[in-house]
Structure 1
Amino acid sequence: MADSEQKENADSLINDIQKRITDAFDIFDNENNKTVDVREVGTIIRSLGCCPSEAELHDMLSEIEEEEPTGYIRFEKFLPMMTKVLMERRYKCQPEDLLLKAMQVLDTDGEPFTTEELEEMLSAAVDPDKGTILYKEYVSRMTVEET
């Protein structure tokens, strides 16, 4: 009796996880053809509570991409990989207190930004044509090279 109850609980957990994955995937399946743009996969994965590094994300993508890359990821390949990731609780985000400590290391005085400073930083960060933040370019603009 206990074995069948455990199996039922495991099946229920897997079903719940797969429903979450399906719902997240469907949001980005704009053409309703069970595919998403490969550039959206990181967003989908992060919306499911996973925070892989860029290298880990690249490894995940190479696992589920077609042999001849099409620029799209198929749901039938995404679902089993993502189910396994969530079941194994991989790529968990860092707790808030750890992130706060990291920020405090960078800002020892605890000085907040003014609204004007934030607006200035964002105006430098946002690509006016695309409306997105190109973070690599932004970082290079914000850093000061030592001479």
Structure 2
Amino acid sequence: MADDKEELVVAELHKKIKEAFEVFDHELNNTVDVREIGTIVRSLGCCPSEGELHDLLAEVEEEEPTGYIRYEKFLPVMTKVLMEKRYRPIPEDVLLRAFEVLDQAKHGFLTKEELIRYMTEEGEPFSQEEMEEMLSAAIDPETNAINYKEYITTMVIDDS
């Protein structure tokens, strides 16, 4: 009986992976640009670091990198990632504590300038593209700040 249940889970994952992949398969030839893989992986509820994403790409890329990833190489690797629940999002309370540490004045928000400084000077720096993507999603244009309590709720994926 357990095998039937697992087969169902795998079939459901395959469907999700195929749908996510097809969004970026512009030529409809079962390949996507290697630069889209991060977006596809994240759209499936995974949050790998840049290093983890790099390792994942190494698994799915051809021996001779072409700049494209083939669906049949991506599917088994991504299925395994999802089955093992790898690259899970960080829980909401942990994210909140992290923002609170950065918000030393305890305002409940960070200014755009503070956020940029933390994103470029601390830990694993964000690329320009990642930074712009986050700022466009996180910064309130009226206050030019991030109300992180509200932002965190958009970052957390509901598993149910």
| Matches of 1:135 and 1:46, distance apart in 2 | 13
Matched residue, 1:37: 33
Which amino acid in 2 is paired with 1:25?
F
Structure 1 residue aligned with 2:129 = 134
1:47-58 maps to which residues of 2 (within 5 A)?
47-58=43-54
Aligned to 1:61: 57
Aligned-pair CA distance for 1:133: 4.5
Q: TM-score if structure 1 supplies the norm length?
A: 0.73
Query: Matched residues in 1 for 2:10 and 2:129: separation?
Result: 37
SS at match of 1:36: strand
**Aligned amino acid, residue 134 of structure 1:** E
Q: How far did residue 136 of structure 1 move?
A: 7.3
The alpha-carbon deviation at position 85 of structure 1 amounts to 0.7
State the aligned residue count.
120
Structure 2 stretches lacking a partner, 5+ long = 117-126, 133-160
Note if 1:110 corresponds to 2:106: yes
The one of 16, 19, 40 equivalent to 1:23 is 19
User: Secondary structure of 1:73's partner?
Assistant: strand
- Aligned residue type for 2:92: E
2:42 maps to which of 22, 43, 46: 46
Take 1:135 and 1:82, find their aligned partners in 2: how far apart are those partners?
A: 22
Residue 19 of structure 1 and its aligned partner are, at CA, apart by 0.6
Q: Residue 46 and residue 62 in structure 1: after superposition, are their counterparts in 2 closer, same or farther (change >3 A)?
A: same
- Structure 1: where are the runs of 5+ without partners? 123-131, 138-147
- Choose the corresponding residue for 1:90, options 83, 86, 93: 86
Runs of 4+ in structure 1 off by over 3 angstroms are 132-137
What fraction of aligned residue pairs are identical, expressed as a percent? 55
User: How many angstroms apart in 1 are the aligned matches of 2:130 and 2:9?
Assistant: 37
Q: Deviations over 1:60-98 (max 9, x none)?
A: 101111111110000000000000111111111101111
